[in-house]
Amino acid sequence: MKVLVTGGAGFIGSHTCVLLLEAGHQVTVIDNFCNSSRDVLDRVKQLAGRDLTVVEGDIRNPADLDRALEGVADAVVHFAALKAVGESCEQPLMYFDNNIGGTIALMQAMERHGVQRLVFSSSATVYGDAKQVPVAEDAPLQATNPYGQTKLVMEQLIRDWTASKAELSAVLLRYFNPVGAHPSGLIGEAPRGEPNNLMPYVAQVAKGQREFLRVFGDDYPTPDGTGVRDYLHVMDLARAHLKALEYSVEHQGCEVFNLGTGRGYSVLEMVTSFETASGKSIPYRILPRRAGDVAEMTANTAKANAVLGWETELGLSEMCADTWRWQQSIRY
């Protein structure tokens, strides 16, 4: 297939591009590189042994989208979005404009170019403070921050769009906690400034870039008192996008799938596993709970397992080992 990947230089987008190329697809990436580096795409090409087309542009700009979609007739994988929860609370209008406005512009451009299949990068944040875990796709949806609200609105926009024409197909993929890196160590997650997520923060402490890990709360109703999350290796997540593309070819309408391992790990389990992978001590300090954090959040992945034929292959040890390999080789 000829596939346009929005935000293809980002963490999850870049890993997905490697697998798309390896599977024989023709890939075009559009990215404005606001949170990524163009160098990443050179490494993607190196890993896949194949070329891709790069369009530097903003998905809110119709002219940029028209350039990117020219000759791309099969499908779009949509990653491009701002994703920092804290930043979204400080600058909600920027998030609404970029995430929601960009998605509207993208679907309008897809209509102009006759592209009928869309795979969308959503998030478990749409479940908010879920009342029952593991969380299934039919759980109530609620947003607890502007970032989550943009994902909810983007999902609804896509549902309404696919309902408007019988030939359209969309797959919404709700990620839980993507971590890890390509096993080569050539690409991975490289947050700018202070990491918003646990794994890259732990990796920076292990490397000596940060003095200690802040653990927010040790009095949750979990085995060791720290929060439990469902961590998912980025390579397993990338494989899910290929499965979703295959599914979209044979199905119309809109479907949603949770992506996770179905197993939760606590903050302290993560620390212990990373110490083993890195051979480094990871000091930490216990701080009070953060407002809005929940005790446990894990995915019910039965639907993705059964319908997409997708299951995770990599566990916490591989997530930590691949992250550490990448952390030691970061060049940007």
Beta bridge partners of 232: 178
Pairing label, strands 117-123, 75-78: parallel
E strands in 204-312? 213-216, 228-229, 231-233, 253-259, 265-266, 284-287, 296-297
Q: Which of 147, 175, 231, 247 is catalytic?
A: 147
Alpha-carbon gap, residue 308 to 166, rounded angstroms: 21
Expressed in percent and rounded to 5, the helix, strand and coil fractions of the chain are 40, 20, 40
Beta bridge partners of 214: 285
Beta bridge partners of 56: 31
What are phi and psi for residue 253, nearest 5 degrees?
90, -165
Contact (CB, 8 A) for 29 and 5: yes
Cα angle value 126/127/128 (rounded, 5°): 90
Q: Which residue reads 């404009």 in tokens?
A: 97
Contact (CB, 8 A) for 14 and 241: no
> In the Cβ-directed half-sphere of 254, how many Cα atoms lie within 13 Å?
16
Eight-class DSSP state of 24: T
Contact (CB, 8 A) for 312 and 236: yes
Q: Give me Rg for the CA atoms of the chain.
A: 19
Please count the helices (runs of H) and the strands (runs of E) in the chain.
12, 14
| Residue 265: active-site member | no
Q: Which sequence positions are flagged as catalytic?
A: 147
